[in-house]
Structure 1
Amino acid sequence: MQPAHAPAEVPALIESRQLSLTRGRLLILDRIDLAVRAGEIVTIIGPNGAGKTTLLKVLLGLIAPDGGEVIRRSGLKVGYLPQRLQLDPVLPMSVERLMTLTARRPRAAVIAALAETGVADLVDAAVHSLSGGELQRVLLARALAATPDLLVLDEPVQGVDFTGEAALYELISSLRRNRGCGVLMVSHDLHLVMAATDRVVCLNRHVCCAGSGEAVSRHPEYARLFGPRAAHALAIYTHHHDHRHDAHGRVVVADEAATRKDA
């Protein structure tokens, strides 16, 4: 069970107030109020075209809004994992090079960040050779390398299989717990995300509903967007088993995992 999200009186790391954006005659975002505080995970869900990625870009200052405001804590450091990273498959690039494209970092710092996401052994690997799960862990390590106060993750489990998704959500929760950072995440994985977040914001150009995962899954607007069976089929996801999967998808049984931890 995840800890309760930060109380409202704790100052927000980032906050939007009545945020609006139009393109031509199309209303993209309609008076969005949202706040993320240190130590909490806030997840934005919604159908395709709901404005989820656009909202992240406005919050990050990559797109200017037409109305409302974004308030960021002074000196806020953000680690960003974008939805898509375009890499030329014919251009050879190592993981270490990818980690240092936008900032110089010593190799030891690169390896430390990769170790935090479980892929330090890939530091010299070619990026194009990585599996979907390995690439997402490398990109997450890249976001962590700047020691952010806030992690902004746009579809962090894309291209990852089902078991890998659960492992990545567990990793994100542990990073929040160990670092004390805030996490703002966009996800389509409603069946898993409900158990891996403190607060859910259901977006469809405007905020349809928000609250705990259980509260949102029972809200009439959630059912209207995702179908009348969604609340039952995609309610709180609980999962218990006697094994886990490492960064490369290999099964690690519970006894073996404990032995490795104690070693």
Structure 2
Amino acid sequence: MAEADHILVKTHHLSVMRGDKTLVDNASLSVEAGKIVTLIGPNGAGKTTLVRTILGLSRATSGELYRRPKLRTGYMPQKLQLDPSLPITVKRFLTLAGCKPAQASLALGRTGAIHLLNQPMQALSGGEMQRVLLARALLQQPELLVLDEPVQGVDVAGQAALYALINDIRKELNCGVLLISHDLHLVMATTDTVICLNGHVCCHGHPEQVTSDPAYLELFGHRAEAQIALYTHHHDHAHDPCGEIDQDHSHHA
């Protein structure tokens, strides 16, 4: 598949089977430089399987997969299991990925977490851990940033701050972002394309298109109505990097 320069990855009628079970069926999507594509869907919908296949960590059963040659990719997994009996600092954790200390500091600075450089990983809060994992994904100046549930274990205020940070990084690096999320109301303001997956692609398009699609409404039911209500609510406040309300940059009616 010869592709335009702006396309980083593209799948065409991609299917993944394990044994006789189809995990992803006939899925087509593309991620362009500077764009955010969000995958949503219920548990077991095949989101992580599709992402791992795009990354080359799983093998497709059929269909086509294009990746731009020599594509630099940063991956943030859904969870990180650390052995509590093996103390490791944030700096050491990042340099174990093969980077120099200066690269680690630059990446932590991008995620607003430079103050955590010498902290033990086991002592981090949920939001701090996610910022460190995001920094790890940024070490190689990725052209494609792949994030699997990046706000896992973070409170709502912290989630909004993290999604705003991801949007800022997208603009700064002009990287494409492929994001798995359950929190559609928080990501929709900055997402260019939403793909609703439930084994197959149920619907896709701009956020406003997807939330009015019968397939989306049927899949998420009352939860969809709640998410749309949250999405259309205009915030009258801003959050600082820690997720707290920033009084200096908030707007009051």
- TM-score, structure 1 length as denominator? 0.89
Given the alignment of the two structures, is residue 221 of structure 1 paired with residue 211 of structure 2, yes or no? Answer: no
In structure 1, what is the Cα distance between the partners aligned to 2:151 and 2:47? 15
In structure 2, what is the Cα distance between the partners aligned to 1:87 and 1:69? 36
In structure 2, what is the Cα distance between the partners aligned to 1:238 and 1:49? 30
Matched residues, percent identical?
50
Secondary structure (helix, strand or coil) at the match of 1:192 reads helix
1:113-137 C-alpha deviation (Å, 9 max, x unpaired)? 1011001010000001001001100
In structure 2, what is the Cα distance between the partners aligned to 1:131 and 1:241? 27
Residue 27 to residue 255, structure 1, CA distance change in 2 (3 Å): closer
The amino acid of 1:58's aligned partner reads: T
Contact persistence 1:246–1:252 (CA under 8 A):
no
Given the alignment of the two structures, is residue 155 of structure 1 paired with residue 149 of structure 2, yes or no? Answer: yes
Partner of 1:187: 181
Secondary structure (helix, strand or coil) at the match of 1:197 reads coil
Contact persistence 1:43–1:201 (CA under 8 A):
yes
Residue 255 to residue 71, structure 1, CA distance change in 2 (3 Å): closer
Secondary structure (helix, strand or coil) at the match of 1:57 reads helix
Residue 180 to residue 205, structure 1, CA distance change in 2 (3 Å): same
Secondary structure (helix, strand or coil) at the match of 1:153 reads strand
Partner of 2:120: 126
* Structure 2, gaps ≥5 residues long: none
Shift, 1:243, TM fit:
4.0
Query: Where in structure 2 are the equivalents of 1:21-170 lying within 5 Å?
Result: 21-105=16-100, 107-170=101-164
Deviating above 2 A after TM superposition, structure 1's stretches of 4 or more consecutive aligned residues are 8-11, 229-232, 236-243, 249-252
Shift, 1:108, TM fit:
2.0
1:219-260 C-alpha deviation (Å, 9 max, x unpaired)? 000011111x3443212344423442323x44432259xxxx
In structure 1, what is the Cα distance between the partners aligned to 2:96 and 2:176? 24
Residue 102 to residue 69, structure 1, CA distance change in 2 (3 Å): same
Shift, 1:11, TM fit:
3.4
Partner of 1:259: none
* Structure 1, gaps ≥5 residues long: 1-7, 257-263
The amino acid of 2:169's aligned partner reads: L
Partner of 2:239: 244
- TM-score, structure 2 length as denominator? 0.92
Contact persistence 1:109–1:145 (CA under 8 A):
yes
The number of equivalent residue pairs is 246
In structure 1, what is the Cα distance between the partners aligned to 2:233 and 2:139? 31
1:165-214 C-alpha deviation (Å, 9 max, x unpaired)? 00000000111111100000000112212223111000001000000111
